[in-house]
Structure 1
């Protein structure tokens, strides 16, 4: 499984590089409309480390964050490769999920990419994407997806986002898109608000068909779909003027995003429970939010 781990980790790193380049390109090409006169944003890149109980090497990654750009108010694109032994609580949680052998052997390896973008213009939707591979001595699986989080909804933008994802999933079987769309609708739901976090997307977890190559190819196409699904929406909306009321709507909607990520998101809970860099784990939180 070592070769498969290396291939997955390399893929997530390449996807990170492609997205960072594309997002900085959006900053450079924004030359008309609100904030076009500001300086284009750039990513600050720093290494992250996972803290192990005994001080041994436990892996880490790269945290890439852009703040105060003319298109992106805050966007983070993190990639990681971590390993070691799970803490007691994380081990119990994995065992409760039915991970084979986890009761007796807490070793694990995980790699993935995680992205959250919060935008300057309220007409440009916020977005989330992640893909990952997880290994234990008794199992391996893939997970991830992407979902759109507009504060001002445009039906045609939602349709484009979903259609692009469907086009990338259908070659792997036409049952994948409706299944993963339904999963996203259920996963990105805020029970205490009785509403969805956004307009959905696709999501999967514990993906192990028994064919690693097939599952890896599916995961790669989830990643490949992202820029094609999202960049055209940014290009379409970034030049629109906005009002104070639009900005207020955006800030209140960001409160929903923060609530979900802090209360329900499985990745946030896992990252904090396993000792990964807290700043990297909480990168998803918006820079400014409001509650009514």
Structure 2
């Protein structure tokens, strides 16, 4: 059995909440400073914040969080930044999946869990601005603990220099923890964010990790924090560069079709979506990642 890690869990949950606050503030600033180009004549968007709750099977409290969603802004057509801390007992299906995928013994004898994290998905007004996803999380059971997360860029119109900036920023944040981390996490993202039934990647990649448990909690937490810290400097400059570009109806159509690919991946393959729904978390929060409009051809 692993340690309780109660103080460490509290630190992780606090970090995810503070990262959420920084991102929400930065995104609202992007709305305020968009003065020229498409959608600039609209009112700047603001996040609507809703408390979320996870009900235990017996009806008791099992944690929750904040769902922050902005719709119809100048820059963001729909963006959600969710943070949550949930706990309780894993159901039989989740126990089996955990034991099978992670090789954790004893889940059926003591299926308690605790999980905290931040999850973000942004769908943009301008098709030249890439959609983006980011999450970081900590998971604890009496048998094991680990961190996970990453971020990946999902442009419908690709720019090589944007992709290079996104990846270089992430590598700069990961290299101080060991130069092996970036290539390993980049390859993991390439594998994880692949859409088998379409035979292609969801976007232009990024970094991804799961099951990060080196045995040194402080080192793993520091790595996870820098994955989170890399997000704004990797993404915000791309928004500032592209948000004022003009676009055509064909560009918008390309964006809607790409969003269909994104929705397919999240509903069919994404582990976070499956875990959230199977453990009874707020369905609106779990499905926040879905785009406001999409198209299939």
- Corresponding position of 1:77: 81
Identify the residue that residue 87 of structure 1 maps to in structure 2: 91
In structure 2, the residue matched to 1:112 is 117
1:6 aligns with 10
Displacement after TM superposition at 1:188 (Å): 0.1
With 37-46 and 100-109 compared, the bigger mean Cα shift is at: 100-109
Residue matched to 1:58? 62
Structure 1, unaligned runs of 5 or more: none
Q: Does 1:278 align with 2:283?
A: yes
- List alignment gaps of at least 5 residues for structure 2: none
Trace 1:1-292 onto structure 2 (pairs within 5 A).
Answer: 1-97=5-101, 98-292=103-297
Give the drift of 1:87.
Answer: 1.0
- Verify the 8 A CA contact 1:100 1:139 in the aligned structure 2: no
Q: Match of 1:202, SS? A: strand
**Cα displacement (A) at 1:100:** 3.5
Cα shift readout 1:29-62 (whole Å, capped 9, x = no counterpart): 0001011010000000000001211011100000
For 2:220 and 2:95, locate their aligned partners in 1 and report how far apart those are by CA, in whole Å. Answer: 24
Deviation at 1:120, TM superposition (A): 0.1
**Number of aligned pairs?**
292
Query: What TM-score results when the alignment is normalised by the length of structure 2?
Result: 0.98
CA contact (8 A) 1:83 1:110 kept: yes
CA contact (8 A) 1:67 1:73 kept: yes
Q: How far is the alpha carbon of 1:7 from its aligned partner?
A: 0.1
The two structures, once aligned, show a CA RMSD in angstroms of 0.5
